[in-house]
Amino acid sequence: MKVKRRFVAPLIFILCVTLLVVYGQFGSSGKVIRKFKERITEIQSVEASVVVDMWGVNGDDTLHLNADLDLALSHPFYGQKKMNVIARIKGETDKNDQNLDGEAVAELRMIDDHFFIKLDQLNFDDPGLENFKIFLEGYYGRWLELTRDFVSRHIYLKKQRTLLEEAAFKKLFVKSRLFRASEVYGTEEIDGKKVYHYGVVFNRGAVEGYFEKAVGMGEYSLTDLEIKKAGDFLATLEDVEFWIGVDDYNLYRATLTFQGNQDGMNPETQQINLVFSGKSFNNEVIIETPTETELFQSGDLLKKIKY
C-alpha cells in the first residue's frame, strides 16, 4: 500500500508529538525524583497517617502486630518544633501454646525538647503483667511529661541548624542518589490530586555514603555499624512505591515491604508492610502544650513489671 506524500509530514508530526507526550509523562522520572527531594527539604509541616502490619516467628512463638498512626508535625526552619502522634496498636501472639491478644491507644506530643505521653486504652491477656496493667489504669487520660534525664538517655535531639548548615544539608540530600525510580506506572489521582506513580529501589552504597557525610555535619548521631545496618535495611526493602504530586512534588502515598531477619526473628516468616498517606503539607498545624501534666517516673513503672 502506498502512502501519499502529503500525508507523510502530518504522520511524522503526530508521531513526534505522541513520543514527546509519552516521554514527558513516563520518561522524566529522574527529574521528578530530584524535584521530590528538593521538596522534602522545604517541608516545614505535614499531616499524615501511617499503617504498619508486622508478622513474625521467633522459635515456636508467632506474632502479628498492627499499628495505625495519625501524625501532625510542625518543624519550621526557625521556631518551635512540634509533633503529635495518636497511635492505635493491636497485637496477637501465640506464646508457649497460649494465644494472647492486646490493644492500646496512646498519644505522644513533642514541644521542642519537651515530650508528653497520654495513655487512653490498654488491654492484654497476659496474666503475668496484671500488676503492670492495674498500675497503668491509674494514668488513663492523664498527660505525663518525660523527665529530662529519660529524654537525654533515650531520645536523640538534633541541634538547630545555621543558614549555612541548612544550605549544605539540603545540597547533600538533593544530590544524593539514595533511591531511583525502577518502574514507571504513569499518572493517577489521589483525593483529587494528580500524582506520578513509581516503583522505587534504594542504593545501599549511596545510603551509607549519605549518612557518613550527614554524621560529619552533625545531622545524625550514628555509629559506623548503625550506618551499615541502615544501608542493609533500605537495600532489602521490597515493593517500594511512591505517589508524588504532579504539581507540587509532595509525597501523597508510599508503600513498602520488608522481609528479613531482625531481632532474632525467622527470616522466612517475618514481614513488615507499611503504608504512608500524606494529607496536608506546609499548612498551619496547631499543637499546644498540655495544660495539666505530671512527671513520668520510669522507675515506678519498671517496678510493676513482672515477667
Residue 135 burial class via C-beta count within 10 angstroms: exposed 0-12, middle 13-18, buried 19 and up: middle
Amino acid letter, residue 98: Q
Count Cα atoms within 13 angstroms, Cβ side, for 221: 8
**Distances in Å between the alpha carbon of 110 and those of 49, 116, 128, 161, 163?**
17, 6, 32, 19, 24
Please give the pLDDT value at position 81. 87
Check residue 287 and report its DSSP letter: -
Please give the pLDDT value at position 123: 81
Q: Please tell me the distance from the alpha carbon of residue 96 to that of residue 102, in angstroms, as a whole number.
A: 16
Buried b (16+ CB within 10 A) or exposed e, 5-35: eeeeeeeeeeeeeeeeeeeeeeeebeebbeb
pLDDT value, residue 193? 94
pLDDT at position 214, please?
A: 82
Report how far residue 218's alpha carbon sits from residue 19's, in angstroms, rounded to the nearest whole number. 46
Closest by Cα among 129, 85, 136 to 106: 85
- Does the global pTM surpass 0.85? no
DSSP string over 179-240: EEEEEEEEEEEETTEEEEEEEEEE-HHHHHHHHHHHHHTTS----HHHHHHHHHHHHT-EEE
Measured CA to CA, the distance from residue 106 to residue 121 in angstroms comes to: 7
Question: In sequence order, what DSSP letters do the residues of 136-162 get, joined into one string?
Answer: HHTTTT-EEEEPHHHHHHH---PPPPP
pLDDT per residue, tens digit, the chain (307 aa), is: 444 444 445 444 444 444 334 344 444 788 999 999 999 989 999 999 999 998 887 777 788 889 999 999 998 776 788 999 999 999 887 766 666 788 889 999 999 888 999 998 888 776 666 666 777 777 788 998 987 777 666 565 556 667 777 788 888 888 988 899 999 999 999 999 999 999 999 888 888 888 888 887 776 667 888 888 888 878 778 899 999 999 999 999 999 998 766 555 555 567 889 999 999 999 988 999 998 888 876 655 555 444 4
Phi and psi torsions of 234, nearest 5°? -65, -35
Phi-psi region of 191 (alpha: psi -120 to 50; beta: other; left: phi over 0): left
DSSP-assigned beta bridge partners for residue 62? 57, 94
**Interval 67-114: pLDDT, tens:** 999 999 998 776 788 999 999 999 887 766 666 788 889 999 999 888
Amino acid 19: pLDDT:
39
Which distant-in-sequence residues (6+ apart) come within 8 Å of 234 by Cβ? 178, 202, 204, 207
Structure confidence at residue 226 (pLDDT): 83
Residue 108: its pLDDT value, please? 93
Nearest in space to 57 (alpha carbons), one of 102, 94, 99: 94
With beta carbons less than 8 A apart as the criterion, state whether 139 and 120 touch: no
What sign results for the dihedral spanned by CA atoms 211, 217, 220, 221?
positive
**pLDDT on residue 237:** 85
Q: Per the structure block, which three cell numbers stand in for 223?
A: 555509629
CATH 2.50.20.20 fits 31-304, yes or no: yes
What residue segments make up the domains of the chain, in order of their start?
Answer: 31-304
3-state SS, residue 290: coil
Q: What Cα–Cα distance (Å) separates residue 234 from each residue in 78, 249, 259, 293?
A: 30, 22, 11, 38
